[in-house]
């Protein structure tokens, strides 16, 4: 198989962790006789510094021409600490999502047995946790009209159409059919009109799948339940801002933001990225956890290229590295390895190990 992958390393630790994913993908290509070509593009603060645009036209063209996109991270303190900055790195991420119509963000949350002690939650609470969040990504308050009126009041509009809700709902139910056949819609339908529309659309669509249980839960209750009983969830379906918040909340289950991959899917393009930020304090120190980026590469192989065996090899290699303690300092402060060493280890496992269960 020959595939072209657009690589957008971005800012902070983005280039370091993305480099490890490329190592692993090259190991997969070598072992399974595939050919992956990689071409880099600018996005975020580094793009602003070089072009004045956080998402240059050349990067958009690169993404549209690629079979999949591998993304690192975005953000820089010099923009974060300047509230007057009119051009910001995050604008590049929003522009990319909109331009490529990446309307569905998929974030799996899984508890790794060997990392249970890294989580702030009790062992008996998180053992066996395995759920996935489907977050609508191109609508809602992040993309609505915003501004300030003449009196100085600020406003942010949250709008949704039935079509925007329905297209991600379909993906969530398709996933639920292959999992534990349960969907939890997270909204605020007791207060928000947009949430009431979400509930109407999802409840109506759910009638087509009597075998799938649909729960509707207010976002504040869901936020509590994710901590109290995360095993109760299978597929969580929600709008943009709620999904942003609860998926980051759920990251504490794994013990590190550096463990959670994600996919952003559209009708013609798909982007894969770790959910962590640019973590500028660690940039250039070779200490960042690359596993979320590597697991994002595994999602890329499965969802965009339909290479399920190759994806499983990466996931198994990550599990083996964790079980033998080959992790970065965020997961083990006493005995740990560098970003590049972990990338090398996963690549070695992918290429040399014999996984009899696959």
Q: Residues with catalytic annotation?
A: 142, 188, 220, 244, 248
The SS3 of residue 129 is coil
How many Å apart are CA 172 and CA 3, to the nearest integer?
27
Pairing status of strand 154-156 against strand 182-187: unpaired
Q: What sign does the CA torsion over 235, 238, 243, 249 have?
A: negative
For residue 131, list its beta bridge partners. Answer: 109
How many Å apart are CA 139 and CA 103, to the nearest integer?
8
How many Å apart are CA 93 and CA 75, to the nearest integer?
10
Dmax over CA atoms of the chain, in Å, equals 68
How many Å apart are CA 95 and CA 12, to the nearest integer?
20
How many Å apart are CA 270 and CA 66, to the nearest integer?
9
């Amino acid at each position: 198989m020959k595939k072209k992958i657009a690589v957008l390393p971005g800012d902070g630790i983005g280039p370091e962790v993305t480099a490890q994913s490329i190592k692993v993908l090259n190991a997969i290509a070598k072992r399974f006789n595939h050919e992956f070509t990689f071409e880099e593009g600018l996005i975020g603060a580094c793009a602003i510094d070089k072009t004045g645009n956080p998402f240059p036209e050349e990067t958009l063209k690169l993404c549209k021409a690629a079979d999949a996109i591998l993304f690192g991270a975005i953000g820089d303190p010099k923009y974060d600490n300047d509230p007057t900055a009119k051009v910001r790195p995050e604008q590049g991420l929003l522009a990319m999502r909109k331009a490529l119509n990446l309307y569905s963000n998929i974030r799996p949350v899984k508890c790794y047995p060997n990392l249970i002690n890294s989580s702030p939650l009790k062992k008996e609470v998180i053992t066996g946790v395995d759920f996935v969040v489907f977050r609508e990504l191109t609508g809602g308050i992040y993309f609505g009209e915003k501004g300030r009126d003449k009196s100085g009041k600020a406003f942010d509009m949250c709008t949704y159409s039935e079509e925007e809700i329905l297209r991600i709902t379909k993906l969530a139910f398709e996933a639920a059919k292959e999992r534990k056949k349960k969907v939890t819609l997270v909204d605020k339908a007791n207060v928000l009109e947009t949430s009431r529309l979400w509930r109407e659309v999802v409840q109506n669509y759910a009638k087509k799948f009597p075998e799938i249980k649909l729960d509707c839960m207010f976002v504040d209750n869901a936020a509590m339940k994710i901590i109290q009983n995360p095993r109760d969830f299978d597929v969580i379906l929600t709008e943009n801002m709620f999904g942003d918040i609860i998926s980051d909340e759920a990251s504490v289950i794994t013990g590190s933001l550096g463990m959670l991959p994600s996919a952003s899917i559209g009708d013609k393009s798909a982007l894969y990225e770790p959910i962590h930020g640019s973590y500028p304090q660690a940039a250039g120190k070779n200490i960042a956890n690359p596993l979320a980026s590597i697991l994002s590469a595994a999602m890329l192989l499965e969802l965009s290229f339909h290479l399920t065996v190759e994806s499983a090899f990466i996931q198994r290699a990550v599990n083996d590295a964790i079980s033998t303690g080959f992790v970065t300092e965020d997961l083990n402060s006493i005995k740990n390895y560098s970003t590049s060493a972990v990338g090398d280890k996963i690549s070695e496992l992918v290429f040399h190990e014999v996984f009899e269960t696959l």
